[in-house]
Chains A and B, each alone.
Chain A
């Protein structure tokens, strides 16, 4: 079965000069066509086996002496292919800044506090219907050196495998109504018609009373033509 091609009207280009790091890092020569073979019809198999008991709860998986500060949220959604079929038992890895906009990463020198009870990384896997869910706190915005007074909007990084290496996706989930979105060169590097796919929806149904706000972020991976083709 052939994977549907990467849709360059949905994905950002390699070079997007407003995001300055792309200028020296994005490939400049045309991609070379590659007839799909077994290498592309296969890929690493990571599912529920890769998820530890607390991995999907970032409010608890690194707690030392209490709960992390910030607004508790639940993020859930369906992972499907382009034909709308669920992608079951696939790993979703997540990482993010803490509520103050600070990453645990050693090279993040933003002058905002670390949270001893928050690492900001975890993982979960989709169920038989392609649904994933994790708990965390809402990440803060933070400055970055792309241009004067540049701030990244609140976002959570997500990494998915899907069934093959061709379905691999690393993306970022943004929050509705963020005033930084129209100013962010990374978000704006995405073709305009596809940008709203990166913005989660607030959901009162997912929101748990007296506990946490809920957001829905559905994800569509490449793959699975409606009519499978045999070579």
Chain B
């Protein structure tokens, strides 16, 4: 028997306000195992430990407390944990993390990860997928590292970004009592709207 027999891409729909117990249950203390957490690393992972911290702001400059952020990145040697990459990452590195902005008092997202290596002429970067209530289709962006000036200057993706908007993709490095923290805020709208890519 025929199903809904789609003739093209299934349309995206918003993740809505109630994704947490399905997609990030452990973070929000719901009784279901999570497939992913706010970290890509364990004790065995090689590479420079970093923490990426930021908030998501709406067009009224208010931090958003019901966004979900996913990251996907290479390991410290620029290798992806995926069959399409002939190089293999070091053990126990999945390259993927997911977190909601609803459990931090300031609505921050926090990722504990490693600084990725560059690859194929691209500067080190973290791929980001943004979802939230009010976003009918997810948005893609990238986190680059402000202290990688030479690599960023040679990056072909950044080269395609209007010069006056590149700053929105640069995470700023801070040394804190925790260790190395990169600050990266996401602005959905406004003069300094984050660059979102046509992935």
A, B bound: yes
Contact (Cβ within 8 A) A200 B72: no
CA gap between A163 and B199 in the complex, in Å? 14
A21 touches B161 (CB 8 A): no
Q: Does A170 lie within 8 Å of B30, measured CB to CB?
A: no
Q: Is the CB of B189 within 8 A of A24?
A: yes
Tell me the dominant secondary structure on chain A's binding face: loop
- A168 adjacent to B32 (CB under 8 Å): no
B31 cross-chain contacts in A, Cβ below 8 A: 62, 119
Give 1 or 0 for each of B135-163: 1 = CB within 8 Å of chain A CB.
Answer: 11111101000000000000011001110
| A14 B35 Cβ-Cβ under 8 A | no
Distance in angstroms from A34 CB to nearest chain B CB is: 4
Q: A27-B193, A189-B136 are in contact. Are A6 and B8 (CB under 8 A)?
A: no
With A38-B80, A105-B17, A166-B199 in contact, is A121–B25 under 8 Å at CB?
yes
B residues adjacent to A (C-beta < 8 A): 1-23, 25, 28, 30-33, 35-36, 58-60, 64, 66, 70, 72, 74, 80-85, 94-96, 119-120, 122, 125, 127, 129, 131-140, 142, 156-157, 160-162, 165, 188-189, 193-199
Q: Which 3 A-B pairs give the minimum distances between C-beta atoms?
A: A95-B22, A21-B134, A216-B3
CA of A62 to CA of B21 in the docked complex: distance in angstroms? 12
Q: Please tell me if the beta carbons of A38 and B4 are within 8 angstroms of each other in the complex.
A: no
* Chain B positions within 8 Å of A21 at CB level: 133-134
Given contacts A25-B64, A170-B13, contact A121 B134 (CB under 8 A): no
Interface string of A138-161 (1 = CB under 8 A from B): 000000000000000000010100
Q: With A46-B35, A77-B3 given, is the CB distance from A103 to B13 under 8 Å? A: no
B149–chain A nearest beta-carbon distance, Å:
20
Chain A interface residue bracket vs B: 35 or more
CA distance A107 to B102 in the complex (A): 10
Contact B135 A25, beta carbon cutoff 8 Å: yes
Closest to A8 in B: B137
> Given the complex, which residues of A lie within 8 Å of B15, measured CB to CB?
157, 159, 170
Residues of B within 8 A of A164 (CB): 82, 84
A37-B122, A171-B12, A186-B136 given as contacts; is B127 within 8 A of A31 (CB)?
A: no
- A42 interface neighbour in B18, B59, B82, B136, Cβ under 8 Å: B82
